[in-house]
Structure 1
Amino acid sequence: MHKLLVLFACFICLPPAVAQQVPKKPLDHSVYDKWESVANPKISNNGKYVLYQVKPQQGDAMLYIKTAANRTLRQVSRGDSALFTADSKYVVFSIKPLYKDVRQAKIKKKKLEDMPKDSLGILALETGKLTKFANVKSFQVAEKASVLAFLATKPPLKDDKTKAPADTLKKLTDDLLEAKKAGAALTVVNLLNGNVREFAAATDYQLSKLGNKTAFAVAAPKGSKTIKSGLFVFDLASGSLKKLSSGKGVYKNLAFDDAGKQLAFTAEKHPEKALVKPFSLYYSDFTKDSAATILRPGDKALKTGWSPSGFGKIVFSENGEKLFFGTAPDPIPQDTTLVEFENAKLDIWNYKDDYLQPMQLKTLKKDLQRNYLAAIYPKQANKVVQLEDEYLRDSYMADNTNAEYVLATTDTAKRVSLQWEGNTRKQAYLVSTRTGQRIAINPKASKSRFQISPHGDYALWYDDAAKNWFAFSVASRKTVNLTAKAGVSFTDEENDSPTDPEPYGLAAWTKNDEAVLLYDRYDIWKINPKTGLATNFTNGVGRQNKLRFRYRIPVDKQKFIEPKDELLMQVQNEVDKTWGYYRKSLASTKAPERLGMAPMAYSNIEQAKNARRYLYTKSSVSQPADVYVSADLQKETKLSAINAQQKDYNWMTAELVQWTTPKGFKATGVLYKPENFDPTKKYPMVAYFYEKLSDGIYRYQAPAPSPSKLDITMFASNGYLVFTPDISYTVGEPGPSAVEYINSGVEALKKNSWVDAAHIGIQGQSWGGYQVAYLITQTNMYAAAWAGAPVVNMTSAYGGIRWESGMSRQFQYERTQSRIGGSLWEKPELYIRNSPLFELPKVQTPVVIMSNDADGAVPWYQGIEMFTDLRRLGKPVWLLQYNGEAHNLVKRENRKDISVRELQFFDHYLKGQPAPVWLEKGVPAVEKGRNWGLEVSKETGL
């Protein structure tokens, strides 16, 4: 046994007498803010340094910068967004304002421009020198050089290259103060030699990958004689500044080629009052004084009425030969002769529309900015190739941007079915960036997920109906079924919805598209996309041992697996839910080597780009997710130690439980117990559920204000058992399936003497809230219930809108989570039978409903229907409506409020604690905002 696992085994086997030597207090709602988590861990390219943040739930974070041997180089209060430079010599980071200062500014309702600003920090790792700059809006670090650029809201006291005499200093200062309104001060820093240059009134900027050049746009203040509007390029090597474009306007989408030898951007320089302001595309190779306009509105190379788009991202190919950009129809000018208040205001719904009006309104901004990919060849007389259009409007470039083809898909004329199917059928094409030729991949539209391989040699897709993966070769124009002959399923073997099962997914491609790694339920397969030859890369170890192998390339920005790479695969045991790692070299034919399995949860691994050193977090039910570094995932160094205060509180344990349902199904769940559990006592229990949760048994759950689900840690610490049963579903029977699994699991646990069978509650949110509502119509064994955002009437909810997306709800009921398997008029009896509303007279369980008036997923009126009908029937029911809140609570103050109320409610009904005022008497509208009703009601005796 590895040393790490021995230590873990010793930890979990401590006898109860040792674990309880010092009495521990239960968690309370005051602990939330100080509970910490680790965020944004990174490792330098040379593997010698690491950084990470420790963030309290509310307050100021701390940035730690350390060596891989755990020597602290610097702790930076409020450090954020930290990056290592490519040479591993510097760390660049922002420094957030103090939480208390931001809070006070919000209390004083300060304007955005007057709010406290970020600072910028630069730490030299070898010397420990820390340099700071104030009032920084944004920063960039060159991808391959120690060069930094940032915008600061406070302009420098002089603009670049200006040597003002004393009698003009005041005028210069006034100009620069005016510049603050138009732009900000751009500072460019060469970290290796310390050179710093500043430029006033910048509005946008871009560093080249090599850090050799910086492009930036300037908006000169009105009347300024020292600052000129335009687009400039600063050459760091020579120190020269060149103006590439003159005049006021909007400059956007600045982009260098990889070598920093070419620049492209879009700009419009129309008068301010112009009704239509199309953009032009500009290009420079720095051999001429100014950038050339290589594509203008109305050029013959464009479709009539089209222009280069100001919203399309500009990308050079790796070899610098072609330039990708966006085009778009010119916007329709607004009729300024119309009087706004005399115009009708309405939305027109048409049955022929591709998308429902609510969806169109949700995507309005995106649609107004929609642009269509094109390519231009600056060295070939500015030849333009249009790649997308209104019919073919979604495309994907290979990581190898030199590849001739892009992959494009369309669902034009097939979008209406989105309303009831949840997705659409697509056709895919390879489009030549040289000629615009379109090669059809699947002549018949299908429900498929398409992607292009990293090198651009193949189109890959999973076909829902065929339940197989396919590859189309650019070279041979042939399609190969990659998975039909493997002898196993590559789709969800446990699918319990009336829709085509999902694929298990893709792990990665190997170099030059020689192989693709695909998942079945357990193993990883290495498949030749040219021939379809499939090899079980994990040698069947997964299926033989019920182990689920998964892999993610751990090196930042690496797009494929190199032949020399050793794959570190994350593995979960499907039976006991433990996690661990196996490793295997890409070229090896041997079975993967096990590195260890443990009752822990692991993050994805981050690997140093130029060293064999790994960074990750791991946690357990009782161990916070701390940061570790290792060279082999066996011997490791722990870098962080968060939440030391946890030792003072009664925590929890977790164990898997199995039982057999009334219909003979094998079932699994998790039982959480208080750390100080005593089998001679009786404990109240709350069942919390949402489909399947047992895979997360070893995940650390910090006490936190709830968005509306059950805070398991808080409840266990306060003397509750918490049971989370997994649920499998029968199509057409979502309600009875919940009864089958949840009730039978509770009944199985009730056989234990330490379960207080008379005091069991249930809690669920959203889909779990629906199941709570259904369960209390089928049994009276629950002493209390809490339903967050429940659907109680499928007949009225079926035709509604999910307002957060604008989509119809029909697909959900027919095909996905609700699992009815047909439309309302095809299977009305199933909609009625699975709707709690029609069985509400049977309810005897006190129930709290949370239903918020800005819920974009479940209609608010569903909670109202449940409340008003139970109220009409004289049942004990309460409705919490958080004003302006979404499906899950977002505002922290509301999360804290519901956390208090939820524990109060269950304490009253499951522990016999006195009822608070809001339960006993309510809170009248005239007392809203003055009386929260959280104190114990006098009528209950305290």
Structure 2
Amino acid sequence: MNRIKYSLLFLLLPFSSGVLAQQKPALSWKDVSKWNYIRSNTYSLAPNGQWLSWAKGPTEGDLQMVIRKVSDTLNFIYPIGATASPVFFSKDAKYAAFKVSAKDAEVKAVKKTMKPLYDQLLLVSLPGNQKTTFEKVKAFSFSADNPDWLAIHFIPAESASKDKDAAKGTDLLLYQLSTKKSFNLGNVSEYAFNKTGNVLAYIIDANGQNGNGIFIRDMKTGLITALENDKANYKNINWNEDGDAFALLKSNKNEKYKEDVFTVIGINKIAGELSNKISFNGASAKNFPVNMGISANGRPYWSDDQASLFFGISAQEKKADSTDKKSGSNPVATNASGKTDSVKTKADSTGKTKPDQKALAKADIEKPDMIIWNWQDKRLQSAQQTQETRDKNYSYLSAYRIADQKFSQLADSTLKNVVMAPKNLYAIGYDDSNYELMRNLDGQGYTDIYVIDLKTGNKKRIFEKFYTAGRDLFNLSPNGKWATFSKDGAFYSINLETLEQYNLTKNIKSSFVDELDDHNVLQPETPNFGWSADSKYALIKDNYDLWRISADGKTAVSLSDHWKSKKQEVTERFSIYQREKGTDLTKDQYFLVFNQQNKNSGVGLLEAGKTNIKPLFVDAHVYGGLKKATDANVFIYMKYDNEKSPEMYSTTAATLASAKQISNNTPDQRNYAWSSGVKLINYVSANGDSLQAVLYLPANYQEGKSYPTITYIYERLTNEMNVYSMPAFPGGGFNRAMYNSNGYAVLMPDIKYKLNDPGMSAVACVVPAVKAAIATGIVDEKRVAIHGHSWGGYQTSFLITQTNIFKAAAAGAPLTNMISMYSLIYWNSGGTNQAIFEASQGRLTPGYWDNWDAFTRNSPIYHIKKVQTPLLLLHNDKDGAVDYTQGIEYYNGLRRLNKPVVMITYRGENHGIAKMPNRKDYAVRMMEYFDYMLKDKPAPDWWAKGINRSDMEKHLEARAFDHTQEQ
């Protein structure tokens, strides 16, 4: 093994040379349950930039909604129950509306009774804070760009029929904000405002289909127009972007068919009774495919020029026999699969009907319940079963051109994936039918690519067997006439009108192959940032710099001014302009900047019309969520680091200068011991690669003292060096904040893989990282443990067969036998693991029959006799990613060898733990285990002696009681 070389970068280290007079207490798991924090997915900024809202509250319990004035300290707080949802503001920001859910205690109480719970809607005036509450609300929306209306859709009455054919309409209340007057529309099943908010389209679905139809309401005059009435059902209103046309679906019963027959309806030139209406169901088209009909799934839409309607078609199954049309009900028999079969009847000499005995005999035949797996199946039977609903609901994209009443089927059984280009001039079709079987076997994807002219419906194949593994597909320009793609390590553009192709990157002295992607794919591409808004330039990144390249490839400018020497890169563009199409280079554009060498990040500004991204700030924090108010020059962004939780900042400066903190996250953190900082370690792996690892220091760290350490692994983790760890009960059990608070250091190394040696690569990277961390003096070499989940669980299970550097290990849902795992089913998708092994995370190729040494060399199970490290295993019995048998096989092997091992299984859980009681339990047990192994605390009884099944209920009740008492 190579001699370890290491160096340290000290960051965020407010170390103390002495022990604080009064040390803060460590977090306990009971503290996690009541930990108060902001739900990051609930931030909303008012259109005028004057109000920012968010939901906050404990991990378990009831939450609050905060609406805060951005320019001062005025804020309002409202209880919102146990479920968080965002605030919606009216266009003029004078009103805010949000849902209030049932309280946590009510949610828990009704789990036994199954009594329904209902949401309220709270409408708040700003800044007056006048509140109006609406009960039993299903959905709501403000009237888009019109600030005067709030539509409130109510849930059905509890007594309403639950039958699938029952009427779906309920009350829709139109509440005028300026006058506080209400207008009720009854039996509404669906509604939608147009962009300007001056027209409301809605569907009536009433009992007996009385008055069913599609209506519009002029929101200025209140005039209601019935655009169509019929004994039919309607659904899927879809306004175009400009708000001057919409499309929807209509369905009718038809005795010839098993399911409803659908019609596409397009409404444009909206002018009340004079509005234009187009209907199409395929009957008028000579070339409409036989046994097909308009699909019930999907949302029809207009072309940009309103010359065509686009929609899906699908198979339309006719009824088996005309006798099905007879009045009265037929006897029903149940087959072996539990499905019902209608039994035919026939009339006797008196004219009465009686069951047809032959039909009854046929229905009574016991049928086998079986699956036939054939080697020629393009998709495994398990995949077909998992994807059955998707397949059943699949529809083929089609078009109907109004002027000449021409129907065009754009997608078909082989060309299933058709992507519309902007402006609806062209579409791109992908046909992988010839390569689907092999892709599902070895993960190496290919497709044939077609350009479809939407004016003529003509399809032209432009690529045959185009390699797609590790690639994005075509990136289409805003004008719909260009596309970019990656091929053979370079980026190209194609003019969809002429089909001429241009190599965009051939004259740039840089690599456009992702240098950090070590999967078994050919020349994986670097990121494609899309197109400029005027479609003149493609924005494509190499491994560090972002390039502006003309559509024909003749000119190229580095917008980031050759940052490779600094190891600095552009990682993403912030989308801050409403309804933007591409990157508008005539406006200021903002980018996330990241430094690979020191893990600093920041924000860069590309000023309007300029060609140089200027970093506004780059430091040891994480930045994200940059937004601009739609109607004002107010910017908000999120900032955090390892020690400080995410907070929102606001500024009116385009340079983001003088930003002011608006939020107050995790207020209880000041009361607890927290990580003392983080170190970045540079080291060299056993394979000679220069790598990095992150070492998070324990709370109350004292220089010169060594600490018990958890090594947490997955793949490359150091880019997350400055990420804040929110105290929580995670699905994998490990929470860094909890361990740091309780006196543990946490080490997270990067792992670089060699093909056909995933396990050995982990050993070559992780062991030197641990030794480098020990050499700092911070890590106690006699008290180092390792943990990982899923792929990290596999590597944990493997590492303990190759090294004794760890005193304890915990592996969650690990792969343990690469040979058996290779051909097992990934049940969450129904596919086999073979493609995952050969082209994705497994990094083992080809199959074990031609690669036996690599498969055995990297399988924990084949080195099991060398294990000396105690192991805590987690493997759930419904794991749909890593088969449960992998954990069982490793556990039983270790048990047979009398190795210290305990396996925990949560019944019914999948790959990660979902149910809160189970998440709590595993998190507590894992820490109990590590405390015993690394801190010499007493061994928990479930580890020391096990729990007999007869005592399990009592054991669980005792732990649940103790935890409840802690609360």
Give me the TM-score of the superposition, normalised by structure 1. 0.90
The 1:68–1:340 alpha-carbon spacing in structure 2 relative to 1, beyond 3 Å, is farther
Structure 1 residues 444-463: aligned runs within 5 Å: 444-447=465-468, 448=471, 449-463=473-487
How far residue 598 of structure 1 moved from its aligned partner, in angstroms, is 1.6
How far residue 605 of structure 1 moved from its aligned partner, in angstroms, is 1.0
Between stretches 476-485 and 856-865, larger displacement belongs to 476-485
What amino acid sits opposite 2:307 in the alignment?
Answer: E
Between stretches 232-241 and 736-745, larger displacement belongs to 232-241
Aligned residue number for residue 89 of structure 1? 94
Aligned residue number for residue 59 of structure 1? 61
2:787 to 743, 751, 763: 763
State percent identity of aligned pairs: 27
CA distance, structure 2, for counterparts of residue 422 and residue 487 of structure 1: 31
CA distance, structure 2, for counterparts of residue 396 and residue 721 of structure 1: 49
What amino acid sits opposite 2:23 in the alignment?
Answer: P
How far residue 392 of structure 1 moved from its aligned partner, in angstroms, is 1.6
Confirm or deny: 8 A CA contact 2:443 2:838 kept in the other structure.
no
| SS of alignment partner, residue 417 of structure 1 | helix
The 1:748–1:290 alpha-carbon spacing in structure 2 relative to 1, beyond 3 Å, is closer
CA distance, structure 1, for counterparts of residue 588 and residue 160 of structure 2: 61
2:551 to 529, 544, 562: 529
How far residue 88 of structure 1 moved from its aligned partner, in angstroms, is 3.4
What amino acid sits opposite 2:418 in the alignment?
Answer: S
CA distance, structure 1, for counterparts of residue 92 and residue 306 of structure 2: 25
Aligned residue number for residue 293 of structure 1? 279
Aligned residue number for residue 603 of structure 1? 624
Aligned residue number for residue 183 of structure 1? 169
Aligned residue number for residue 215 of structure 2? 232
What amino acid sits opposite 2:408 in the alignment?
Answer: V
CA distance, structure 1, for counterparts of residue 870 and residue 13 of structure 2: 40
2:259 to 276, 301, 310: 276
Confirm or deny: 8 A CA contact 2:826 2:881 kept in the other structure.
yes
How far residue 272 of structure 1 moved from its aligned partner, in angstroms, is 9.3
Aligned residue number for residue 391 of structure 1? 414
Aligned residue number for residue 838 of structure 2? 814
CA distance, structure 1, for counterparts of residue 378 and residue 143 of structure 2: 43
Between stretches 267-276 and 200-209, larger displacement belongs to 267-276
CA distance, structure 2, for counterparts of residue 924 and residue 331 of structure 1: 56
Aligned residue number for residue 29 of structure 2? 29
| SS of alignment partner, residue 416 of structure 1 | helix
Between stretches 634-643 and 119-128, larger displacement belongs to 119-128
Aligned residue number for residue 5 of structure 1? none
1:636 to 650, 659, 669: 659
CA distance, structure 2, for counterparts of residue 11 and residue 416 of structure 1: 50
How far residue 730 of structure 1 moved from its aligned partner, in angstroms, is 1.5
Confirm or deny: 8 A CA contact 1:441 1:472 kept in the other structure.
no
Aligned residue number for residue 702 of structure 2? 678
The 1:892–1:567 alpha-carbon spacing in structure 2 relative to 1, beyond 3 Å, is same
CA distance, structure 2, for counterparts of residue 754 and residue 852 of structure 1: 35
Structure 1 residues 801-880: aligned runs within 5 Å: 801-880=825-904
What amino acid sits opposite 1:138 in the alignment?
Answer: A
CA distance, structure 1, for counterparts of residue 123 and residue 523 of structure 2: 50
Aligned residue number for residue 731 of structure 1? 755
What amino acid sits opposite 1:386 in the alignment?
Answer: Q
| SS of alignment partner, residue 785 of structure 2 | strand
Q: Deviations along 1:650-675, whole A, 9 cap, x unmatched? A: 11121111222344332210111112
How far residue 551 of structure 1 moved from its aligned partner, in angstroms, is 1.8
Structure 1 residues 615-654: aligned runs within 5 Å: 615-630=636-651, 631=653, 632-652=655-675, 653-654=677-678
1:336 to 336, 342, 346: 342
Q: Deviations along 1:50-98, whole A, 9 cap, x unmatched? A: 2222243222232222232143353232262322233433323222222
CA distance, structure 2, for counterparts of residue 546 and residue 300 of structure 1: 60
Structure 1 residues 668-817: aligned runs within 5 Å: 668-817=692-841
2:198 to 196, 202, 212: 212
The 1:547–1:406 alpha-carbon spacing in structure 2 relative to 1, beyond 3 Å, is closer
The 1:935–1:103 alpha-carbon spacing in structure 2 relative to 1, beyond 3 Å, is closer
Is 1:325 equivalent to 2:349 in the alignment? no
Is 1:138 equivalent to 2:162 in the alignment? no
Q: Deviations along 1:607-638, whole A, 9 cap, x unmatched? A: 12233321121111110101111233221111
Between stretches 680-689 and 835-844, larger displacement belongs to 680-689
Q: Deviations along 1:509-534, whole A, 9 cap, x unmatched? A: 21221112111111110011233422
Aligned residues: 896
Aligned residue number for residue 118 of structure 2? 117
| SS of alignment partner, residue 604 of structure 1 | strand
| SS of alignment partner, residue 686 of structure 1 | strand
CA distance, structure 2, for counterparts of residue 812 and residue 934 of structure 1: 42
Confirm or deny: 8 A CA contact 2:16 2:701 kept in the other structure.
no
CA distance, structure 2, for counterparts of residue 708 and residue 549 of structure 1: 28
CA distance, structure 2, for counterparts of residue 206 and residue 598 of structure 1: 45
Q: Deviations along 1:449-498, whole A, 9 cap, x unmatched? A: 223222201122222xx012221102332011112221111221123222
What amino acid sits opposite 1:395 in the alignment?
Answer: V
Confirm or deny: 8 A CA contact 2:484 2:491 kept in the other structure.
yes
How far residue 203 of structure 1 moved from its aligned partner, in angstroms, is 2.0
Aligned residue number for residue 336 of structure 2? none
Q: Deviations along 1:317-365, whole A, 9 cap, x unmatched? A: 3343322211122146576347488333222222332211111112111
CA distance, structure 2, for counterparts of residue 532 and residue 11 of structure 1: 44
Confirm or deny: 8 A CA contact 2:11 2:620 kept in the other structure.
no
Aligned residue number for residue 476 of structure 1? 498
| SS of alignment partner, residue 874 of structure 1 | coil
Is 1:245 equivalent to 2:231 in the alignment? no
Confirm or deny: 8 A CA contact 2:484 2:538 kept in the other structure.
no
| SS of alignment partner, residue 426 of structure 1 | strand
- Unaligned runs of at least 5 residues, structure 2: 1-9, 321-340, 344-361, 961-967
Confirm or deny: 8 A CA contact 1:64 1:72 kept in the other structure.
no
Q: Deviations along 1:816-839, whole A, 9 cap, x unmatched? A: 212123221221111011111111
Q: Deviations along 1:533-590, whole A, 9 cap, x unmatched? A: 221111213444534453232224322222321122211111110111221225214x
Structure 1 residues 68-107: aligned runs within 5 Å: 68-78=70-80, 80-107=85-112
Aligned residue number for residue 6 of structure 1? none
Is 1:108 equivalent to 2:131 in the alignment? no
CA distance, structure 2, for counterparts of residue 341 and residue 192 of structure 1: 69
CA distance, structure 2, for counterparts of residue 322 and residue 92 of structure 1: 37
How far residue 724 of structure 1 moved from its aligned partner, in angstroms, is 0.9
| SS of alignment partner, residue 281 of structure 1 | strand
CA distance, structure 1, for counterparts of residue 638 and residue 559 of structure 2: 26
Between stretches 568-577 and 858-867, larger displacement belongs to 568-577
